Amino acid sequence: MKVLVVGGTGALGGHAALHLAAKGHEVTITGRGEAANPATPLAKLGYLRGDFVQGDFAAERLRGFDWVVFAAGNDARHVPADADFGAYLHRANHVALPAFFAAAREAGVRRAVQLGSFYAQAAPELVAGNIYIQSRQAACEGARAQGRPGFDVISVNAPFMVGIVPGLPSAIFDPYVQWAKGLIPIPVYAPTGGTNFMSFVSLSEAIEAALERGEPGAAYLVGDENLSFAQYFQLFFDAVGRSDVHVPALDQELPLLPDVAIPQGRGNFISYEPDARETALLGYRRHDIANAVRDIVAQFG
């Protein structure tokens, strides 16, 4: 299949793009700026420059693609410094994202996966008070609303993600590794609370399966392991060979995982087991977080 991965120069989209290319698909990636980092295998894929928020993907630019993976949902990292947070997310996720899917339908795309966030399904009580979660819920619903016979749209809604794209820098995981090695002068502890985690590999497998056999209009809540933040960070210390260091849970903000990155609030957990039928349908691997952390340490250690 000819596949377009929107947001394919980033981590999750990039991993999915490489996974699909390895399966024999003809993959093109998109990004707002320059083509993929030449240090990564992504540079070998086709590239289409554009910003969906600016309306750069009219139907004519999308013709010829059989499948689309949309991995460019906007969050706080994408909001310009001079922009109103809520207004920008509304423009991106409530308006521009469904418009992109409407253009894909007009272009003759047959199946599309919207890669979304897990909060609205896993912790619906958080929706009312959080603009970001509201916008990601709107993206999930707005994308699927564009589905019609002959154009199937499926959402795959993922939790905290863990993994690498070969050669791609990470402002999140590289510091974790350096901290675990004792090279960043931050005390060893984790904030209280926890969440569900999933590896890049598991997610890419779920995306592939959703494209191949997902039910039109479905919104799949995917995930792997429920871990406290202390258990999660302990995996990094173990992987760098410092298993003798114990990571305690303290009720205080950690600079490497600030409170703003914990929408449920420090001290709270989001724990769930994905639906067994859906997990069987999508066929993604489980119990993969320690493997993902070892991959991170191998790349950034």
pLDDT digits (tens, 9 = 90+) for 38-54: 889 999 999 999 999 99
2-162+197-224: CATH topology is: Rossmann fold (3.40.50)
Please tell me the distance from the alpha carbon of residue 108 to that of residue 6, in angstroms, as a whole number: 16
Alpha-helix residue ranges (DSSP H) falling in the chain: 11-22, 59-62, 85-89, 97-107, 119-122, 131-145, 173-180, 200-213, 229-239, 276-282, 289-300
Per domain, the residue ranges of the chain are: 2-162+197-224, 173-195+226-272+285-300
Phi, psi of 4 (to 5 degrees): -105, 125
pLDDT digits (tens, 9 = 90+) for 253-301: 999 999 999 999 999 999 999 999 999 999 999 999 999 999 999 999 9
Q: Other CB atoms closer than 10 Å to residue 110's CB: what's the count?
A: 15
What is the side-by-side order of every strand in the sheet holding 152-158?
A: 46-49, 26-31, 2-6, 67-70, 111-117, 152-158, 219-221
State the pLDDT at residue 28.
97
As a whole number, the mean pLDDT across the chain is: 95
pTM: 0.96
Mean pLDDT of 222-245: 98
